[in-house]
Amino acid sequence: MSQYLVAIHHPDNYDPSREDEAMTRDIDVLNEEMIAAGVRVFAGGLSSASRAKSLRAAQPVGKVLITDGPYLETKEHIGGFWILEAASLDDALAWGRKAVVACRAPVEVREFLAMPTE
């Protein structure tokens, strides 16, 4: 089975206070369904993008520059995610559809690349 990232995207001005009891219940139900189906490997939420730190290689070589905020300058950021084990991309997309409804936000589904074993 392959593993897939199912990432929830929030706008940069996302207000967590908009998450009402119905949304929380829908996400809880989705988590329970994923666990019962044996597909959920991990789930987690992230702090706001304003609390992120980004690291970049800087000159001279070997130096690292740390800046505030997410690495990419976009109008959205990842607010949370699941790692799922699914038999196919179609199966992962089916879970992604449920995540869109439960989280009331856009979702990205992406397969993890298999790392070579020695």
Position 116 pLDDT exceeds 80: no
Cβ pair 52, 78 in contact under 8 A: no
Position 115 pLDDT exceeds 80: no
Q: Which of 69, 39, 74 is nearest to 53 (CA)?
A: 69
The lowest-confidence range among 28-32, 76-80, 90-94, 105-109 is 76-80
Tell me what pLDDT residue 41 has. 96
Angle between helices 21-37 and 89-103 (to 10 degrees): 160
| pTM summary value | 0.83
The lowest-confidence range among 11-15, 31-35, 105-109, 113-117 is 113-117
Average pLDDT, rounded, for the chain: 90
Position 69 pLDDT exceeds 80: no
Those residues whose C-beta lies under 8 Å from the C-beta of residue 108, and which sit 6 or more positions away, are 5, 6, 7, 9, 96
